[in-house]
Amino acid sequence: MKIAIVLALGALVLACSSGTTGGDATGHDAAVPDTSATDTATPADVDDTTPADVAVPDADDDTWIDASVDVSVDADPDTVPDTAPDVPFFDPCQGPGQPGALPVGAPCTSHDDCLTGYCYDEAWKDTPENGGFRFCTIGCSSCAKSCSDWGSLTAAGGSCVLFLAAESNEHDLQYRSICMPKCQTDADCTGASGGLLTTCRAPLHFDGSAIGLQKSCFPQ
């Protein structure tokens, strides 16, 4: 009886030890998975400052211009000329053209103001004595006409003013001789020009000396 009890206790001990060892049916220890952290794949670093999509315009695509945006530039009033450029010189000997109505000697600002088609605009007008004075004129004997044939600011008619060859070449004058009105007194000029020309005197060369004896009308 004691022997049977001892054998039963031995079998029980073996069974308990077999269930607590964690082995498998073959008696070998079961593999325990490694629960330690493993490397996790991470995406490549991305530059946050770079947009994901960068639009590149097509050179042939005109839709990139925003028509709603005003890209015009207002003209700077300081750079806009006060007056328009003069019209081209009209040669009445050649025609066709539409000359103005002002006679020889009349003050003018544009070629188309004058019957002759030419408002004087050469270096002689800028001498100190002339002070930029522009007037209707034409070359003497132009179109086989005399100065008086073009009409004159004064009742006395027109005369021819002749520059020296040296000064004509030095200042590259288009006309070596030009038509100007005759006068005897300041009143001849003032009345005919409406007060714009107040002085009757001899025309002056570039050096200030008189050109002949015939007087003409000037602003000063």
pLDDT at 87: 57
In three-state secondary structure terms, 29 is strand
For the chain, residues with pLDDT lower than 50 are 1-33, 35-46, 49-84
d(C-alpha 15, C-alpha 22), whole Å: 13
Using alpha carbons, list the distances in angstroms from residue 84 to 77, 80, 109, 113, 180. Answer: 14, 10, 11, 14, 26
Least Cα distance to 179 among 218, 131, 134, 138 occurs for 138
Query: 177: part of which helix (H) or strand (E)?
Result: strand 177-181
pLDDT at residue 130, as a whole number? 92
User: Hey, what amino acid is at 11?
Assistant: A
Q: What is the pLDDT of residue 43?
A: 45
Instruction: Report pTM.
Output: 0.58
Q: What pLDDT, on the 0 to 100 scale, is given for residue 141?
A: 82
* pLDDT tens digits along 99-153: 788 999 999 999 989 988 899 999 999 999 999 999 999 999 888 788 988 889 9
